Structure 1
């Protein structure tokens, strides 16, 4: 008997997939360096700079604080450096993210190298360059270490004394102080093995500094400065290898005064970044390259390696640009489907870590004097889309930067809420400022926020606090709920409650109200109670009431919104069978652009939950709207459509939008273009793939809810459902064969899937789990925190 059990155990180890299986390897790689024509190639797109070389070909690394774009050249290497607090005046005179520095490694002169390959390995977030020149193998490694906050570069060769170059950093876009407020001063100085880049930004009176420490092994090092003392370089000759350590910071500190003080006073009294940069560089140097690399890999993989998606066994042996171009010509690749999904997770980790600012419109990267659209946090979809993938792809920690950012701007947001109510609904104004809650409009960045108005209504706030509810719902951490999510949601609900006005029919409508960025007859269309505002107010109230019940909170205000939520009448169906964007519209396209990139009246379907399987008429109307809206959009607009089709559980239609992203809106380095480049389409696309594979917004876990025919066989491991259940699923011929559920928070697990009642469920000890059968397609069972449950057909 013991022998038989032992043999069965061995068979299981080989036959059954394991959630701890080794993650598949993913790389972006190319057989040529990134082209670099600099300013000569910059053109305008939608009124903003667009550089097809930087945006299409450079490879991004980042640690939340800083981002660097690697070109991998063998004549003069270019490393473009961005630091997310580096703020200039920007296009709207409220601040914008600018290019911190260009770092050139000159004098390499390796023309026509052999066996050239540059890559970005997603599994360890290390970019490499490898080639042969005159019989010598050259290698470079680049990574952005988060724990030590340094970008690390190592150049080496397989023969001694073969590394020679000049390190020449440049501060771009320098201007004398001027009446326009666009001045930027700066100098680059070299001393011993250190280059220091320092200066000030006129608009914010913001000091900045970066240091690059050069650590050679063997050879000679010489620091040089020109006569002006503003252009320092370091020359390396005949070294065996060289390590560069880079850190950049400003005097920016994330606190309420950033959003309440005038531009020139936002950072008054803050410490100059010199001491912090110096300490950071010295600590990194003390650790050494090997320790920094080990530290980086351990930190990064603790996040990235949580999820594995396998739709195929292949790993194509052709460069990524060729693979993408083949895909765009109709030769689809399941590996490319996987690669773009994991790339989104990589970009989110690289641009959003605790202590850093959230990812802006270009994530953590910008080579321009100011980023397109200021590199802002646009709250009528873009910043929300940046974080949709955080929760279901097992990266909840990366949402912390937005929590910190939101709590810093809350004082300003409260003042703006009071002003908004005083202007638009003075009868509802409270003499106690806190009772007016807080608000957020469309435009925001690291330096300022706006109120609702213009082309977006107050629903932008409910759209935002949906993220806070999901932050709790996916983690089920009551500490998060008490300290962060509930205060944010409650304050927003207090504001939104005061934007409502009664109608003769007994409804409560947001007034004024706008569906984001929609125009009619050439002007912004304002109304009362558009679907976006009403839907997001419903989501806000609904989430607050759920949270209050969990926390056992009671108050007159909670009773107020419990009454108000029933009078919102958020969803209406029009004569064309569509979800109406406006209450006054009859047929689809009566008002506004019928092919508009925004599809805001369906935000109650995704990321909201008001439209769901229990409202079949609304779901049907949502598909009518999706079909009428069409796909002539932007990268992020297609990503939203992908998520919406997943929510109506049409896998093939969702997959068509995912393919459209790849075929029309993805560049050779897999960045998404609006155009110009915007990161939200990448991150929204990743969220959409996860939404096709797992949903949990309807009170149960639904594995494979929108599986397309193209993904006939496959598996995923590590996606997360609400309730903090980590789920792994394996399927054949479109049908689930196995499901593993790790309960990270305990509680009841409810699963809906075809014939799920006939699956056997066992715990980690092989003991059969008692379940309650609600129907042949739905079961529930109790779980213990930390335990894994195995379902097999």
Structure 2
């Protein structure tokens, strides 16, 4: 069990506790006198999909390539801005559903307050003493019921409930609704985002699920008096999923009203805990209770307690279970929790690392079913991706650029040259499909999503072009960096940035590993040819990985993106055993980037923890964990870019795993980068690509117990402290290796 505990209500959104079920999310403030729940529904966007594609792109793509080949960078930029940028810079953006207010009719003082998030059960509890007697509050969002339940128990409960949908920005008084009132014993708030032809209808509904006091309905409010127990139900829906969201909310509230809240809570805990308990991390000396913000304040003073490390890991699992479930949309830049009507970066899907980072750990911790929304999204994006590939690049297959929305908007996003023209987003996302198949070996799954792989393969074949004796990508960028050419020109557009080639190489190697029934001999031959013709990852005179094909000077040597180390992680190109020169060059690259101020954002710091783990540097890895806690973590443990961005939580959760165990399929490295501070503990339920589940215990930085449970036949080489242990497994067996 891990419980995160505040001794005060939240004073702001950033201190609230997040709860969710993938579809519906809430930030819980916990104020007994005036509770505010900041609600989100994962499909509520600013409008219906828009066609932003610049139809002139395909006629001019070769002009841009020619300018880059001739190193006319400014000309290439000017052409790209005119002909490759979309006709409008932004896809649709994520919006909040609204706010639920639960206000005491008479504000009174209270003492002995605690606000508790139980991450193992997916619920928030509050308890406090008011006028000599204790009141308790419990809230959770049920996945089986797709409804939030909020229960108050006490001696004399007198509250007023109402709904708003207003801007949280100070000084703004706008409300974004079309209808608000009571109907069928529920408060219903409704609106419409879109234009005259297409849009998104949405509704939030609140009812009194159960109450032993008096209930009064007042136009758009519900008043409760003289109660000792009351449970409030909250739902949300959009026309993305239902033709009539308002009617859906009314019926859902009525249906769930027939169930006792104790049974609903038990059902919710059973559902949530089954996912959470598939794996566990226990650090020796870590407490189950973490008091906030005290633990963060300690980290800011240089002291990182084991309880914070363990809670952070468990919180990462909790957040993914709460924001990505079967049938929901993928977790976005803020998971599912966003308060603003114009959120940072649209709170969409930034896919030049951020959304991929959200899912790095899920397969390893037995949570592959939480990965499914990302696969469904890719399938839904094929339609737009095919159109953009054809019109923009004169290519077959499908493409996605660096940012997209729930509709799979595939046109370049933003008018920002360092990021906009980067057509590798879909190919990188497709690597997650390969990864899930490696873990599951589920042929039905691969058949379901093979079209995504196939369409990205078609794009690679028709998009790459030969120049200087090698196959190239371009025009493209090294995400979001700028180079300085030898003539002093600053540029972003280029041919074959290192990350592009590493991503394509990773895709082709994965393609060749598929069973023969999925890949024809012609495709195998073509993939092998392309692998031979791709540029190699280069090392410059400073013994560092080159970010571009030319050894340009970096305009920002401490840039937050370290894209040219994709091959180190999450890719598998650079390892100490296979590519020792690149391994040393990667180390030099990372040291240089950090020396110049890199890793200053939350997600970048999280990525760097994973880099250090794969460079077998435990001390440096833990220094970045400390930095993440001290500089990039909010009081409620959410990642702070700044502002809040959830990828850092997920990336750092994976980082803890990589310190303990690294899985390369046929080889598994144990304690490859274990910091001294984490010298004793256990990780149970680690899933290997080979189909082996490991329970690992270590004491004084040495493995003390290693138990393997096999789901299928496999041969695995375990490496630890200079030892090599090769084990053959038969399906459905358990072996104690150490």
Do the two structures share a fold, i.e. TM-score over 0.5?
Answer: yes
Contact 2:290 2:308 in 1 (8 A): no
CA distance in 2, matches of 1:704, 1:98: 43
Q: 1:592 to 1:546 in 2, by over 3 A?
A: farther
Change (3 A) 1:479 1:747: farther
Q: How many aligned positions are there? A: 679
Q: What is aligned with 1:787?
A: 733
The alpha-carbon deviation at position 322 of structure 1 amounts to 0.7
Q: Classify the secondary structure of the residue corresponding to 1:240.
A: strand
2:392 — aligned with what?
A: 420
Greater RCO, CA 8 A, separation 6+ = 2
Aligned to 1:143: 140
Equivalent residue for 2:179? 187
Q: Equivalents in 2 of 1:407, 1:217: separation in Å?
A: 45
- How many angstroms apart in 2 are the aligned matches of 1:186 and 1:668? 36
The answer to whether the 8 A contact 1:188-1:197 is kept is yes
Partner SS, residue 121 of structure 2: coil
Aligned residue number for residue 340 of structure 2: 368
| Kept in 2: contact 1:171–1:188 (CA 8 A) | no
Aligned residue among 209, 227, 236 for 2:224: 236
CA contact (8 A) 1:327 1:663 kept: yes
Of 532, 545, 549, 1:566 maps to: 532
State which of 734, 738, 742 in structure 1 corresponds to 2:709: 742
Match of 1:3 in 2: none
Counterpart pick for 1:214 among 192, 208, 216: 208
Aligned pair partner of 1:447 in 407, 414, 418:
407
Structure 2 counterpart of 1:119: 116
* TM-score normalised by structure 1 residue count: 0.82
Match of 2:13 among 39, 50, 54: 54
Answering whether residue 281 of structure 2 is matched by residue 309 of structure 1, we say yes
Taking structure 2 as the reference length, the TM-score comes to: 0.88
Aligned-pair distance for 1:524? 4.7
What SS does the aligned partner of 2:307 have? helix
Contact 1:476–1:723 (8 Å) recurs in 2: no
Q: Select the residue among 481, 489, 497 that pairs with 2:446.
A: 481
The alpha carbon displacement at 1:311 in A equals 1.5
Conserved 8 A contact 1:99-1:172 = no
The residue number in structure 2 matching 1:519 is 482
Deviation, structure 1 residue 633: 2.2
Look up the match of 2:217.
Answer: 223
Preserved contact between residue 483 and residue 555 of structure 2 (Cα < 8 Å): yes
Superposed displacement of residue 739, structure 1: 0.7
**Could you say which residue in structure 1 is the equivalent of 2:151?**
154
1:246 maps onto 2:212 in alignment: no
Q: For the residues of structure 2 that align with 1:405 and 1:480, how far apart are their CA atoms?
A: 15
How far apart, in 1, do the equivalents of 2:464 and 2:482 lie?
23
1:81 and 2:39 correspond: yes
Question: SS of the counterpart of 2:676?
Answer: coil
Once the 2 structures are TM-superposed, how far is the Cα of residue 420 of structure 1 from its aligned partner?
3.1
Structure 1 residues 183, 404: CA separation in 2 closer, same or farther (over 3 Å shift)?
A: farther
Residue aligned with 1:155, SS: strand
Residue 582 of structure 1 pairs with residue 548 of structure 2: yes
Inter-CA distance 317–123: structure 2 relative to 1 (3 Å threshold) = closer
1:636-675 matches, within 5 Å, as: 636-675=603-642
Root-mean-square deviation (Å) = 2.1
Q: 1:651 to 1:489 in 2, by over 3 A?
A: farther
Please give the residue correspondences for 1:257-406 in structure 2 after superposition, counting only pairs within 5 Å: 271-315=243-287, 319-406=291-378
Q: Which moved more, 1:350-359 or 1:186-195?
A: 186-195
- Matched position secondary structure for 1:737: strand
Cα separation, 2, equivalents of 1:215 and 1:458: 49
Distance 1:451 1:555, change over 3 A: farther
Tell me, in whole angstroms, the C-alpha distance in 1 between the residues paired with 2:507 and 2:518.
Answer: 18
**Contact 2:715-2:726 within 8 A present in 1 as well:** no
**1:192 offset after TM fit, Å?**
6.0
Q: Secondary structure at the match of 1:701?
A: strand
Secondary structure of the equivalent of 1:686?
A: helix
1:479-501 Cα shifts (integer Å, max 9, x gaps)? 222322x3322321221222222
Equivalent residue for 2:159?
A: 165
Q: What do the CA deviations read for 1:430-488 (whole angstroms, capped 9, x no partner)?
A: xxxxxx1111100101134234684353333332222111111122222222322x332
How far residue 305 of structure 1 moved from its aligned partner, in angstroms, is: 1.0
Tell me the secondary structure at the aligned position of residue 391 of structure 1. Answer: coil
In the aligned structure 1, how far is the partner of 2:542 from the partner of 2:344? 38
The 3 A distance-change label for structure 1 pair 322 and 611 is same
Distance 2:289 2:21 in 1: 29
Q: Report the alpha carbon displacement of residue 89 of structure 1 after superposing the two structures with TM.
A: 5.3
Question: Contact (CA 8 Å) 1:743, 1:788: kept in 2 or not?
Answer: yes
Q: Displacement, 1:94?
A: 2.4
Contact 1:460 1:533 in 2 (8 A): no
Q: Do the aligned partners of residues 110 and 138 (structure 1) sit closer, same or farther apart at CA in structure 2, a change above 3 Å counting? A: farther
Instruction: Report the Cα offset of residue 594 of structure 1.
Output: 1.1
CA distance in 1, matches of 2:448, 2:714: 22
1:721 and 2:696 correspond: no
**Partner-residue secondary structure (3-state), 2:216:** strand
CA contact (8 A) 1:646 1:688 kept: yes
Shifted more, 330-339 versus 309-318: the winner is 309-318
CA contact under 8 A between 2:33 and 2:104: conserved in structure 1? yes
Q: Do the aligned residues in 2 keep the contact of 1:417 with 1:451 (CA within 8 Å)? A: no
Matched, 1:462 2:427: yes
- Quote the Cα distance in structure 1 between the aligned partners of 2:569 and 2:290: 36
Give the deviation of 1:657 after TM superposition. 1.4
> Which range is displaced more, 349-358 or 307-316?
307-316
For 2:715 and 2:446, the matched residues in 1 are separated by 19
1:89, 1:355 → 2: CA distance? 21
Matches within 5 A, 1:427-442: 429=395, 436-442=396-402
Return the alpha-carbon distance in structure 1 between the equivalents of residues 711 and 229 of structure 2: 45
1:12-31 equivalence runs, <5 A: 25-31=1-7
Is 1:33 the counterpart of 2:9? The answer is: yes
User: Gaps spanning 5+ residues in structure 1: where?
Assistant: 1-24, 36-52, 175-181, 226-231, 254-269, 423-428, 430-435, 757-776
- Structure 1 357/552 Cα, relative in aligned 2: closer, same or farther at 3 Å? closer
- 1:754-788 per-position Cα deviation (integer Å, ceiling 9, x unaligned): 365xxxxxxxxxxxxxxxxxxxx14131321x322
d(CA) in 2 for partners of 1:316, 1:554:
53
Cα displacement string for residues 504-557 of structure 1 (whole angstroms, at most 9, x for unaligned residues): 4x32111223101112369651121111111101011111111144x4631423
Q: Distance in 1 between matches of 2:116 and 2:328?
A: 26
**Structure 2 unaligned regions, length at least 5:** 49-87, 169-173
Deviation of 1:639 (Å): 0.8
Measured after TM superposition, the shift of residue 678 of structure 1 is 0.3
* Residue of structure 2 in register with 1:100 after alignment: 97
Distance between the aligned counterparts of 2:135 and 2:490, measured in 1?
58
Pair 323,60 (structure 1): closer, same or farther in 2 beyond 3 Å: same
Q: Is the 8 A contact 1:437 1:492 kept in 2?
A: yes
Query: Do the aligned partners of 1:489 and 1:543 also contact (CA within 8 Å) in 2?
Result: no
Aligned to 1:598: 561
In the TM superposition, residue 84 of structure 1 has moved relative to its aligned partner by 1.2
1:93 Cα offset (Å): 4.7
Q: Distance in 1 between matches of 2:91 and 2:290?
A: 45
Q: Kindly indicate whether the alpha-carbon contact (under 8 Å) linking 2:181 and 2:187 is maintained by their aligned counterparts in 1.
A: yes
Instruction: Indicate if the aligned counterparts of 1:695 and 1:721 stay in contact, CA closer than 8 A.
Output: no
Aligned in 2, Cα 1:370/1:724: closer, same or farther, shift over 3 Å?
farther
Contact residue 76 and residue 108 of structure 1 kept, 8 A: no
C-alpha distance in 1 between matches for 2:574 and 2:314: 29
Q: CA deviation at 1:395?
A: 1.1
